[in-house]
Amino acid sequence: MDGAFLELDHISKTFPGVKALSDVHFDILPGEVHALVGENGAGKSTLIKIMSGVYQPDKGGVIRVNGKETNISGTIDAIRQGIAVIYQDFSLFGNLTAAENIGINGAIDKNRLVVNWKKMYQEAKKALEIVGADIDPSVTLGNLSVAKQQMVAIASAIAQDAKMIIMDEPTSSLSKTEIDKLFEIIGTLKKKNIAVMFVSHKLDEVFRVSDRITVFRDGRYISTAKSGEVNTDQLISMMVGRKVLDKNYANLEKKNGVALEVNRLTKEGNFKDISFRLFKGEVLGITGLVGAGRSEMAQAIFGINRADSGEILVDGEKVRINSPTDAMNAGIAYIPENRQTQGLIQDQTVESNIALPLLKHYTNRIGLVKRGNQRAFAEKWIDRLDVRPKNPELLAMQLSGGNQQKVVLAKWIAADARILIVDEPTNGVDIGAKAEIHRIIREIAAAGTSVILISSELPEILSVSDRILVMRRGRIAGEFVNKDVTQEMIMDKALVSNR
Amino acid sequence: MKKLLRKKEFSIFLIIVFISIVITVASPTFLRPDNLIDVLKGNVVLGIMALGMLPVLISGGIDLSVTGTIALSAVLCGKLMVTYGSNIWMVFLLAILIGAGIGFLDGIIIAKLRIPPIVTTLGMQSVFVGIVLLYTNGDWITNLPPWFKQFGTFTVGVLPNGSGGTLGIPVQIVFLIAAGLITWFVLKYTLIGRGIYAIGGSRSSALRVGYNIDRIQVFIYMYCGVMAGIAGVLHTSIVQQVDPNTFTGMELNVIVAVVIGGASTVGGSGTVFGTFLGVILMAVLENGMVLARIPTFWQKIVMGIIIVIATSFDVINHKREQNKLVRVDIEE
Amino acid sequence: MKSWKAWKAKHSNELTLLLILLGVFVLMSVLSPSKFLSPGNIQTMAFQMPEFGLMALGMMAAILTGGINLSITSVGALSGIVSAFVLSSPWAKTNPVLATLLAVVVCVAIAALTGLLNGFVIAYVGVAAMLTTLGTMTLFDGISLNLTKGGSIAGFPSLFIQIGNGSVGGIPIPILIYTVAVVAAYYILERSAWGIQVYMTGCNRIATSFSGINTKRTLLLVYVFSSVMAGLGGLIIISRYNSAKVDYGSSYMMNSVAAVVLGGTSINGGHGTVAGTVIAVAIIQMVSSGLNILGVNRYIVDIVIGVILIAVLAIRSLAGIYDRAKLLRKHTAS
């Protein structure tokens, strides 16, 4: 396209055994917000890595910056050509100050021998002001919230004189207010004629902020459209190649029995006066803004983040939960938000991961593990949840995000947890796998397990839960039965104070 | 932010003050300037090696080969002086070359072959200590040239010594101060120094941001080696002989000093000031126990207990702070 | 056929080490056939290896969890010294059998206590293993010095001396003890539920804890296991020397780290085999003895071991980088 800042044509990328990209096209204009959507495996991160100089495209690929054909030879070259990337993990240094994080690229690029701290501080201050962030440049980055760290990352890109900023899943750890602030910043960037490439799974945000949307599927370019000219169903259809229906699973029948009862659970600086009941076989959705204390509360129930006061009753009996072992003994399981580092052991096999909570069950009397039993056990669950590839000896890290999540689920379903708490189970999971995970959650609920589903995605909450709790600033702000509930009603409780 | 500075280094400082008071009460000779200078002089070697070890620990690595380096440096420099006469410049040049050479080997293996620092430097340690013992057969080197003795007792400046006379600052302490200033400058103001903190903070981010990690790593281990090399000459200048067996176990003491001074074994943090405090703390403790006539066996016990308690306190404090972090702004 | 290939691939590390061991054996035999292959030398190696091997097994357990146990030889010395007090007492002279049994019990008990201290500080307080064991190593050395006043304790009942110097059916008793320990270590670490917890904790402590495993208790027991192995090593040492001294066995500390790493255990934890460690111990022992026989200066032995360690790791590292790159590229292809 004419006038494009960056244009990629006929880009392919082959790895041994896998063709990640086949003849794709992408271009972006100065000051444009151009979103790239697609399922996991569509090739989005490969494209980003080509743009940022990490990978080189196969022969025949053409890259043009400002109309001139060029080659992005490495990460520093990309920065010099004006392309900056903000990765999901920000690639920042928690042990250094915001100023240093912002100025470091420039210092390395100009190959300065000595660091001029005063200058670095001033330049950082300037960049932060442009971004509109109220951050003291001398603060150690690790002490800032995730949202603020992201602002520092953006300021860093501005300090490097970026003409294009690629944002990879930028809103996955942000609360609604922080997302609004981010979009404001994107608006500022647009006004400065900086192009923004927005890669995200969250289609509502994509529609909200982008000018154009490009869809990739299975490493191929599908199409590009102006965001006003296409709707969600069409987009999903292009991403997935088939129609996906929005299901509502809510089962409104009266439930028998209380599986879990929580009374006045309190922990200073985390949550206060939490009381609720979880019925047998139901899916209770807990939502609210990020930072409302949902995970903290869930972790208290699981024994990781012990509460100061309050009581927990399982099947009507009071239990003391001081550690995950106590929780497991009470039949409670927790699938953490950060599945990759906390939910699974990446370096170990799928089989070992699935078998871990239940080691005792196939240990003989002298304490030795019956390997045959363990293998059969793992294979059964791989089958049940349709984990692909089906090999129990693969390392967890070799599976895709969606399949990894299935392994985590398998592990706890297999452990026959009576109460299962899942925290953001479909974060970063592609649409197809998402639907599967929703189906699995409903199935286990139907089989008698009581599930607490913590999620920031309202469509997911509304689709999967029977009842919904809304948390706000450490307390429970509202409770709904999932009938005729709208996203606005939930948001209302999540945001407004009762005063 | 000032508050943070007060946290770790300040508490070590307070402990030093406290212990000093206790010792002085028990034995007033402690505070005499000539005793203090002596104590400092006796720990110059530990101090300089600790300053060399600091960047290594900040980067998340470790260097167990410093014992081999200091031994080799002391031995070869000693032999140089005894056999060839030589002069002080040649001696230091040799020491620096040895330190840089061993450090370079360490760094290259760690950077290019990707063998973890603990294992690489362990292997190097084995090799170079072996070379030292092989070469000397365990024999001491004595009869060093008189000009070296002069160098060893050379003092700079004039200070009152508390009993009406004057005292000079031993040249070794000057070296220590110089090493401290250089290390501080490198860590704070040079790009390589910032790179060391970056690598310790997040290696992957350091790569992405454009730091040449291999080059920085080689530098770190060479720097550590050079410090150990210089320390070897200074050690010889203090005791005026070379006993190749005397350096055993030094590497662990050096690490303890740096860690007590606030550096984390995982990397990413540590300061020159903190390291100085760590060395001073160990020096004061040792001197205190000697002055209080505590027998050597008890010294080890006390040292061991202090290491365990000090590190425990640090961790407990850290955990308490983490726990206090307000995660949610609770609505009233 | 298929399973044989898979088995070979899975245990390629141990097989490679066995080849190296064989190579060393052949080399030493060729270089000095009359002395190296003499029954005297084989006996010597057989008597010396077990104490080293036990230390290495103890070190391995700590390294498996991503930690390290610098106090291992100090624990061995301390347990040995306390037992020595029992053995050299006048009471022991008149009740040698009882004294021997008591000595063994005391040795293991003291070792276990040290393990509890290490384990408590590392697992429950949370201090880094290297720092903790650095501190306890100093502490235990200090206590040992205090007990022996720097000297040695000697004069044990002849029954006890048999443990380190006697043979049963031609097989040295230390080898018997070692074999039992190796088999036990294999089953405990690689085949038991607890052992799997150890590996998992070493791989990813948080995820393991989130899976309901009490990682604190697991770690505590690891250091108890480590110390007990060291204690057994210390027992054999004092029996062989018929005396106990603070620095007996001190060289085994760094060498056991070398053996563990050479044997294929990852220094970051989570991976490693007992077989690998045992073979590596044998390799180091054989190199050491062989070079000794050749009249090579003992200092060169240290150099050679250092070089072997780095060389084997370098080769492994280069091969590993290649493998890992292939693996991860397949995974992150999109």
Same domain, A205 and A278: no
For residues A324 and A471, state if they share a domain.
yes
Residue of C196, C271, C334 lying closest to A20 (CB–CB): C334
Q: What is the mean pLDDT of residues B5-28?
A: 80
The answer on A227 and A266 residing in a single domain is no
Contact A398 C209 (CB under 8 A): no
Q: Which two tokens stand for residue A128?
A: 């932060």
Query: Is A466 a domain residue?
Result: yes
In this structure, are A337 and A202 located in the same domain?
no
H/E stretch holding B224:
helix B213-239
Spatial neighbors of C6 by CB under 8 A, at least 6 apart, are none
Q: How far is CA A32 from CA A11, A63, C31, in A?
A: 21, 18, 76
Residue A258 has pLDDT above 80, yes or no: yes
* Cβ-defined contact of A91 to B211 (cutoff 8 Å): no
CA atoms within 13 A on the CB side of A406: 28
**How do residues C286-295 score in pLDDT, each as one tens digit?**
988 888 888 8
Of all residues in chain C, what percent carry a pLDDT higher than 90?
49
In a domain, B150, yes or no: yes
Question: Do A376 and A320 share a structural domain?
Answer: yes
Report which of residues A81 and C331 the model is more confident about: A81
Region A407-422 average pLDDT: 88
- Give the start-end residues of each E strand in chain C: 153-154, 167-168, 171-172, 243-244
Residue A251 belongs to some domain of the structure: no
pLDDT at C329 over 70: no
Any domain includes B19 = no
pLDDT of the residue at B219:
97
ipTM of the complex: 0.82
Q: What is the pLDDT of residues A307-340, one digit of tens each?
A: 889 999 998 899 999 888 889 889 999 998 888 7
Sign of CA dihedral A399, A353, C279, B124: positive
Give me the residues of B, 185-244, that contact A with CB < 8 A. 188-191, 193-194, 197-198, 200-202, 204-206, 208-211
Reported as a single tens digit per residue, the pLDDT across A166-180 is 998 888 777 778 889
C302, B265: Cβ pair inside 8 Å? no
| A74 domain residue, yes or no | yes
- Specify the higher pLDDT residue, B294 or B89: B89
Tens digit of pLDDT for each residue in C86-110?
Answer: 888 888 888 888 888 999 999 999 9
DSSP state letter for B269 = -
**Structurally, how many domains does chain B consist of?**
1
Cα-based torsion angle of the residue sequence C269, C261, B245, C111 in order, rounded to the nearest 10 degrees: 60
Of the pLDDT bands very low, low, confident and very high (cuts 50, 70, 90), residue C330 is low
Count the Cβ atoms, other than its own, within 10 Å of residue A172: 16
pLDDT at residue A297, as a whole number: 92
Q: Which residue has the tokens 């002279």?
A: C93
Distance separating the N- and C-terminal Cα atoms of chain A: 53
- Residues A293, B269: C-beta atoms closer than 8 Å: no
The average pLDDT across A370-379 equals 87
> How does DSSP classify residue A279?
E
State which residue of chain B sits closest to A104, comparing Cα positions: B209
Of the candidates C214, C282, C269, which has an alpha carbon nearest to the alpha carbon of residue C61? C269
Q: Say if residues C93 and C155 touch (Cβ distance below 8 Å).
A: no
pLDDT one-digit tens code per residue, B58-72: 999 999 999 999 999
Task: Look up the domain containing B35 and give its range.
Answer: 27-317
A 251-290 residues inside an 8 A Cβ radius of B: 269-272
Tell me which of A199-208, B225-234, C116-125 is least confident. Answer: A199-208
Q: Is the pLDDT of residue A498 over 50?
A: no
Q: Is A306 helix (H, G, I), strand (E, B) or coil?
A: coil
Based on the structure, what is the number of domains in chain A?
2
Q: Are residues A327 and A419 in the same domain?
A: yes
Residue A253 lies in a domain: no
Residue B3 pLDDT > 70, yes or no? no
CB A127 within 8 A of CB A155: yes
* Nearest Cα residue in chain B from C137: B304
List, for residues A288-307, the tens digit of each pLDDT value. Answer: 876 788 888 999 999 888 88
CA A309/CA A271 separation, integer angstroms: 11
Distance between CA atoms of residues C252 and C254, nearest Å: 6
Cis bond before residue A30 (omega within 30° of 0): no
Are both A235 and A274 inside the same structural domain?
no
Residue B107 has pLDDT above 90, yes or no: yes
In this structure, the answer to whether residues A229 and A271 fall within a common structural domain is no
Indicate whether A58 pLDDT > 50. yes
Q: How confident is the model at residue B197 (pLDDT cuts 50, 70, 90)?
A: very high
Same domain, A186 and A293: no
B246: domain CATH number is: 1.10.3470
> In which band, very low, low, confident or very high, does the pLDDT at A186 lie, cut at 50, 70 and 90?
very high
Instruction: Output the CATH code of domain C34-317.
Output: 1.10.3470
User: Which positions in chain C touch B120 (Cβ < 8 Å)?
Assistant: 310, 313
Residue B52 pLDDT > 80: yes
**Which of C302, C304, C305, C321 should we substitute to test contact with B (largest number of B Cβ atoms within 10 Å)?**
C302
**The pLDDT of residue C334:** 38
pLDDT of residue A334: 92
Taking an 8 Å cut-off on Cβ atoms, the answer to whether A45 and C334 are in contact is yes
- The per-residue pLDDT of chain C, averaged, comes to 88
Q: What is the pLDDT of residue A108?
A: 82
The domain in which residue A434 lies consists of 258-495
The CATH number linked to A265 is: 3.40.50.300
What lies within 8 Å, CB to CB, of A315 at 6+ separation is: A257, A258, A259, A418
Shortest distance, CA C157 to any CA of chain B (angstroms): 28
Mean pLDDT, chain A, integer: 86
The residue among A359 and C218 whose pLDDT is bigger is C218
Tokens 């995982």 -> residue? B266
What is the pLDDT at residue C278?
96
Please report whether residue B15 resides in a domain.
Answer: no
Kindly list the residues from chain A whose CB atom is less than 8 angstroms away from the CB atom of residue B328.
269-271, 291-293, 296, 473-474
**Residue A405 within any structural domain of the chain:** yes
Give a yes or no: residue B10 inside a domain: no
pLDDT at residue number A41: 67
The sign of the dihedral angle between the CA atoms of C31, C33, C38, C43 is positive
Mutate to test the interface with B, among C68, C75, C124, C139 (most CBs of B within 10 A): C139
Tokens read off for C62: 């700590």
Residues 110-129 of B with CB under 8 A from C: 113-116, 118-120, 122-127, 129
How far is the C-alpha of B282 from the C-alpha of B277, rounded, in Å?
A: 9
Structure tokens at A158: 């501005």
For the segment A95-109, what is each residue's pLDDT rounded down to a tens digit? 899 999 998 888 887
CB count within 10 Å of CB A223 equals: 13
Identify the band that residue B164 occupies on the pLDDT scale cut at 50, 70 and 90. low
Q: Is C5 in CB contact (< 8 Å) with chain A? A: no
The answer on A335 and A228 residing in a single domain is no
**Closest alpha carbon to C125 in B316, B259, B256:** B316
Mean pLDDT for chain B? 87
Q: Which residues of A touch C66 (CB under 8 A)?
A: none
How many CB pairs below 8 Å do chains B and C form together?
A: 138
- How many angstroms separate the CA of residue B14 from the nearest CA in chain A? 25
Cα(A467)–Cα(A107) distance, integer angstroms: 54
Do A188 and A273 belong to one domain? no
| B317 pLDDT more than 80 | no
A2 pLDDT more than 80 = no
| Pairing verdict, β A33-37 and A332-335 | unpaired
Mean pLDDT calculated for residue range C114-135: 93
Q: Which of A408, A462, A414, A457 is nearest to A437 (CA)?
A: A408
Domain ranges of chain C: 34-317
Q: Which of B205, B211, B327 sits opposite A270 (nearest CB)?
A: B327
Distance CA B243, CA B136 (A): 9
Assign A457 a pLDDT band (cuts: 50, 70, 90): confident
Across B127-139, average pLDDT: 89
pTM summary value? 0.83
